[in-house]
Amino acid sequence: MTARQLFVLDTDVVIDVLRSRSPLMLERFSEHGDALTVSAVTVAELHFGAARSSAPSSNRAAVEEFLAFLEVLPFDAAAAAHAGEIRGALTAAGTPIGGYDVLIAGHARSVAAVLVTGNVREFSRVDGLRVVDWGDR
């Protein structure tokens, strides 16, 4: 039996879907359905964004409604170890990425998932992380 391929949605992808409901993105979501996940780190970012918005209650509700259809991956010790390794390697190379991005990259890599992001350029610097852009930007 072959293990299913997981896809971890980066925060920018979730925000794009919540804002635009892009037909191409919705088609990809339909295609990969039960393999779509988000990191608990992304959940924190989404709730932070909702709290800072001009309509916190409705945006929080939209986030919760969207997340109800996805598996939220808990950030565990393996994810933390991968994130630390990634941060160390990128810092040593002089090509660091943002703090939340390091955590999300580490999380996706720790579960051998493909990271779905609109920020391929940044995440492609992470060794061992598979990255794809499903957007039509």
Q: Please report, for the domain that includes residue 86, its CATH number.
A: 3.40.50.1010
68 found inside a domain: yes
Which pLDDT score is estimated for 24?
80
CA distance 38 to 108: 9
CA distance 106 to 112: 10
CA distance 35 to 33: 6
At 122 the three-state DSSP class reads helix
Residues contributing to the annotated binding site for Mg(2+): 10, 101
Residues contributing to the annotated binding site: 10, 101
Which pLDDT score is estimated for 2?
54
Tell me if the pTM is above 0.85: yes
Q: Hey, how many other C-beta atoms are within 10 angstroms of the C-beta on 136?
A: 12
1 found inside a domain: no
- Distances in Å between the Cα of 112 and the Cα atoms of 11, 70, 74, 78, 103 are 18, 17, 15, 11, 14
Share of residues in the chain with pLDDT > 90 (%):
80
With cut-offs at 50, 70 and 90, classify the pLDDT of residue 52: very high
Residues in the chain: 137
The answer on pLDDT for 31 being more than 90 is no
55 found inside a domain: yes
137 found inside a domain: no
Mean pLDDT of 86-104: 97
Q: What are phi and psi of 128, to 5 degrees?
A: 80, 5
5 found inside a domain: no
Give the tokens for residue 84.
């630390």
Between 64 and 17, residue with greater pLDDT: 64
Domain count, the chain: 1
Strand order in the sheet with 36-39: 71-73, 36-39, 7-9, 114-116, 130-132
Q: Quote the domain boundaries for residue 25.
A: 10-132
Which pLDDT score is estimated for 136?
56
The answer on pLDDT for 1 being more than 70 is no
27 found inside a domain: yes
Between 19 and 113, residue with greater pLDDT: 113
Residue linked to tokens 């393999």: 35
